[in-house]
Amino acid sequence: MTSTTNKLTLAYRPQVRGAVHVPGSKSIANRALLLAALASGTTQLDNMLVSDDTARMREALTALGVVITSTPNLDENAAQADAGPLHVTGLGGLPNSTSALSLFLGNAGTVMRPLAAILSASVGEFELTGEPRMYERPIGPLVDALRSIGADIEYQQSTGYPPLLIRGRKLPGGSLAIDGSMSSQYVSALLMLLPLLEGDTHLTLTGTIVSKPYIELTIAMMTSFGARVEQLNEREFLIQGKQQYRSPGVYWIEGDASSASYFLAAGAIGKGPITVHGVGSDSLQGDKAFAEVLQAMGAEVTWAPRSITVQSGNEGLRGGMFDLNHIPDAAMTIATAALFAEGSTEIRNVANWRLKETDRLHAMATELKKCGADVEEGDDWIRITPPVGGAAALQHADIATYDDHRMAMCFALLRFAPCGVTILDPECCRKTYPDFFSDFSAIVYSN
């Protein structure tokens, strides 16, 4: 592994073995921080992820008056990005600010969307800003839903996109609907707000619901913090108002299942076995199903409550057609693993890739072609066919990462091809997994 400031070259290594403790899930960490901040009492958050996205949430909550303290981690087996337990002293309800606040939220969708909802019902005036890419990520469906129950939210630049100016006010609840076809983060943001409104709310999801496991994760976490959500059917929820979140005392943040996907795929390609700790059969995260996709492609998978072990199958990986709407982040790893599979691999129903940190469908197609693959890109699908000769015929490429952490991490799998790979701007992994490349290099071997 050689690096300069702006790029990292990963030399060929054909085998992997060992164990990895992945850092805490970004999705769970930021939800846990917010729920703990809204709860009564003090919550200890264990296995907290330290990354750009969680830093933006902590900064915003601190500006809103939440007291957050950290404890040094003395566990030598903990993930390198785990700084030890956090203690969050909750507000016991919605924030109340006597002065106007401007909150910079970077490119963190797991901060922008839920805070937009929470602050719309809080006391104060709040400006939510971010990086330029955040201003290209739509938030209109969430704003429309909040406005339908009386929220005062103003677009500062382009209609339907951040930055936002929010003049918080008490919201009554009632009946509202939101399009669930663009991002489950809109739905999760609403769900976390609704128990704190003045009245009961009937929430209806319209359109094709994407990433449903993330909605289920949100409800499970709300339940852990004492809120009640009644799910009437797949599309309808009844949430009583005037509830209060309560600290569960200690809340353990699972390892990030999306980050686990890179190591699990490595085990499927590089013989293995690789055991990933922090994610397992008991995980709340839908991305644990990534291991099931690897199994369908021919890998050997063993499950434990908090770990997954993967190794290559006797006949290697084979392609196939997969609807991965439920695991869109981990689905990117299947796209690069497809370079090592026999035949074509088609990933379908991932239109929301285009609304992430970058247009991931176009970015993946562009970079996979650089490696010598035959790639077809549709509105919501991508088909990858390795070159004749398989992985041995892949070409070394400088992979552009588009300031997208998952682009950088999933293309690390190219080090299992004889050509190796160069990753441009590897530091973009700070968003969720600052130590990814050192952890990945620790489990690869030349023989």
184 is an annotated ligand-binding site residue: yes
Residue 188 marked ligand-binding: no
The region, left, alpha or beta by phi > 0 then psi within -120 to 50, assigned to residue 14 is alpha
User: Annotated binding residue at 183?
Assistant: yes
Active site residues: 329
Task: Give 49's contacts (C-beta < 8 A, 6+ positions apart).
Answer: 23, 24, 25, 26, 29, 81, 82, 253, 256, 432
The overall longest dimension of the chain from CA atoms, in Å, is: 66
Cα 163 from Cα 5, distance rounded (Å): 31
* 329 annotated binding-site participant: yes
Instruction: Name the token pair of 304.
Output: 């434990």
Check whether 31 is labelled as a binding-site residue.
yes
352 is annotated as contributing to ligand binding: yes
Please, are residues 134 and 142 in contact by the beta-carbon 8 Å criterion? no
Count CA atoms closer than 13 A to 209's CA, side-chain side. Answer: 16
Is residue 51 part of an annotated ligand binding site? no
Task: Please tell me whether 27 is known to bind a ligand.
Answer: yes
Helix axes 360-370, 328-337, angle to 10 degrees: 10
Q: Check: CB of residue 30 under 8 Å from CB of residue 73.
A: no
Q: Is 431 annotated as a binding residue?
A: yes
Binding residues for 3-phosphoshikimate: 26-27, 31, 183-185, 211, 329, 352, 356
Binding-site entries for phosphoenolpyruvate: 26, 109, 137, 185, 360, 406, 431
What residue numbers does the annotated binding site cover? 26-27, 31, 109, 137, 183-185, 211, 329, 352, 356, 360, 406, 431
